[in-house]
């Protein structure tokens, strides 16, 4: 693996909140161009913290995070974030903006002309499987959970950023909608070929979407590798997750 392929890198990164609790301890991790790395773990294992370190919503208390071979501390945070699409659970849509306006936020910040933003929004809505004529003018509260999440993905893709961070994007959906949208996302992923960091506590989701999985426990990475390694690992945390997974079939996904 050549160095050029590493686009996001954690070097000995720790994050300790001012109160003294350690959320992340000595993380070493490299994300390759075009891959989808899934951060797997229970609540409080440090997944979201890891993600927020990438787009500088927080800064490491020790070690360094590098994006495109440049320390995040040396990045202008605004420029850095504009290069990174960000999807969080459905509440992340701005409730006072219509679907189209939500998708257009970053292009508007980047100063695109209004007509181009409109067009882009329509293209993206179509890409995530929503009828632009019906949905563009709706407000987020008029959408179902699945529709909201699709809009969230479209919004993250709006300015065509090279990176996408997804923080449990499908966590709040009912199981059926969830499988549906996961499948669609998988297709999208293949078409776009973007570098993605995907946070989840759902091992089936990890199996479906991940090129590699990083398993976190109490702020430390206990395993890094293809999803299958989870099943063969002797690590107790890996085994705990593996027990909850009985193959793609049970999740209703044809392999």
Partner 1 sequence: MTLREFLTRNGGELLGLTFEHLVLVLVSTGIAILIGVPLGILLTRKPGLSKPVLGFANIMQTVPSLALFGFLIPLNIYLFNVKVLGGIGARTAIVALVLYSLLPIIRNTFTGISSVDPAIRDAGRGMGMTDRQLLFQVELPLAMGVIIAGVRVATVICVGTATIAAAIDAGGLGRYIFRGLRANDNLLILAGALPAALIAIGADLALGFLERRIQFGGAFKAKSKKFLGPVAAVILAVLCAAYFFAAGDGKRIAVGSKDFTEQVILGEILAQAIEAKTDLQVERRFDLGGNLAHEALVAGEVDVYAEYTGTALLSILQDKPLKDPQEVYRRVAAEYGKRFDLVWTEPLGFNNTFAILVRGEDAQKMNLKTVSDAARVSAQWRAGFGQDFMSRADGYPGFARTYGFHFQEIREMDLSLTYRALAEKQVDLIAGNSTDGLISRYGLTQLVDDRKYFPPYDAVPVARQATLAKYPELRAILQQLGGILTVDEMRKLNYAVDGEKRQPKDVARGFLIEKRILDGSGAER
Stretch that binds partner 1, among 13-21, 26-34, 102-110, 205-213 (CB under 8 A): 102-110
Look up residue 168 and give its DSSP letter. S
Q: Are 247 and 70 in contact (CB under 8 A)?
A: no
111 is an interface residue for partner 1 by CB under 8 A = no
Residue closer to partner 1 (CB basis): 4 or 115: 115
Residue closer to partner 1 (CB basis): 86 or 241: 86
Residues 6+ apart with CB under 8 A from 186: 208, 209
78 is an interface residue for partner 1 by CB under 8 A = yes
What is the token pair recorded at 182? 């996961």
Stretch that binds partner 1, among 20-28, 35-43, 103-111, 126-134 (CB under 8 A): 103-111
Residues 168-197 that bind partner 1 (CB under 8 A): none
Among 6, 25, 123, 139, binds partner 1 (CB under 8 A): 139
Among 20, 95, 111, 254, binds partner 1 (CB under 8 A): 95
- Whole-angstrom Cα distance, residue 137 to residue 73? 39
98 is an interface residue for partner 1 by CB under 8 A = yes
Q: Are 226 and 53 in contact (CB under 8 A)?
A: no
Stretch that binds partner 1, among 50-58, 124-132, 224-232, 239-247 (CB under 8 A): 50-58
Interaction mask 58-77, partner 1, x per CB under 8 A: -------------------x
Q: Are 183 and 205 in contact (CB under 8 A)?
A: no
89 is an interface residue for partner 1 by CB under 8 A = yes
- Whole-angstrom Cα distance, residue 18 to residue 93? 29
Q: Are 196 and 229 in contact (CB under 8 A)?
A: no
Residue with tokens 């994300």: 31
47 is an interface residue for partner 1 by CB under 8 A = no
Q: How far is the CB of 46 from partner 1 (least distance, A)?
A: 17
Quick count: other Cβ atoms within 10 Å of Cβ 5? 12
What region does 190 belong to: left with phi over 0, alpha with psi -120 to 50, or beta?
Answer: alpha
Q: Are 75 and 56 in contact (CB under 8 A)?
A: yes
Residue closer to partner 1 (CB basis): 7 or 106: 106
94 is an interface residue for partner 1 by CB under 8 A = yes
25 is an interface residue for partner 1 by CB under 8 A = no
What is the token pair recorded at 72? 């995040």
Report the relative pairing of strands 62-67 and 36-41 from DSSP bridges: unpaired
106 is an interface residue for partner 1 by CB under 8 A = yes
Among 3, 19, 20, 96, binds partner 1 (CB under 8 A): 96
Report the relative pairing of strands 84-87 and 70-71 from DSSP bridges: unpaired
Binding site for partner 1 (CB under 8 A): 52, 55, 57, 77-82, 84, 86, 88-89, 91-98, 105-106, 109, 139, 155, 165
């Amino acid at each position: 693996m050549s160095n050029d392929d590493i686009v996001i890198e954690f070097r000995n990164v720790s994050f300790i909140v001012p109160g003294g609790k350690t959320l992340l301890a000595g993380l070493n991790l490299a994300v390759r161009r075009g891959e989808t790395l899934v951060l797997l773990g229970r609540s409080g294992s440090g997944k979201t913290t890891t993600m927020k370190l990438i787009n500088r919503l927080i800064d490491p208390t020790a070690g360094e995070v590098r994006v495109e071979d440049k320390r995040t501390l040396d990045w202008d945070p605004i420029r850095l974030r504009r290069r990174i699409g960000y999807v969080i659970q459905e509440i992340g849509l701005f409730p006072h903006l219509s679907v189209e306006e939500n998708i257009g936020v970053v292009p508007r910040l980047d100063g695109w002309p209004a007509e181009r933003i409109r067009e882009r929004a329509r293209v993206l809505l179509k890409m995530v499987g929503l009828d632009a004529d019906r949905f563009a003018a709706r407000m987020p509260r008029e959408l179902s959970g699945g529709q909201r999440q699709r809009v969230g993905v479209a919004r993250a893709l709006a300015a065509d950023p090279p990176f996408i961070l997804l923080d449990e994007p499908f966590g709040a959906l009912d199981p059926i909608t969830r499988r549906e949208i996961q499948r669609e996302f998988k297709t999208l992923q293949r078409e776009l070929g973007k570098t993605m960091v995907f946070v989840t506590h759902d091992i089936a989701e990890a199996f479906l979407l991940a090129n590699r999985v990083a398993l976190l426990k109490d702020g430390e990475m206990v395993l890094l590798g293809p999803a299958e390694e989870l099943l063969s690992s002797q690590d107790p945390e890996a085994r705990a997750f593996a027990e909850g997974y009985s193959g793609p079939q049970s999740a209703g996904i044809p392999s």
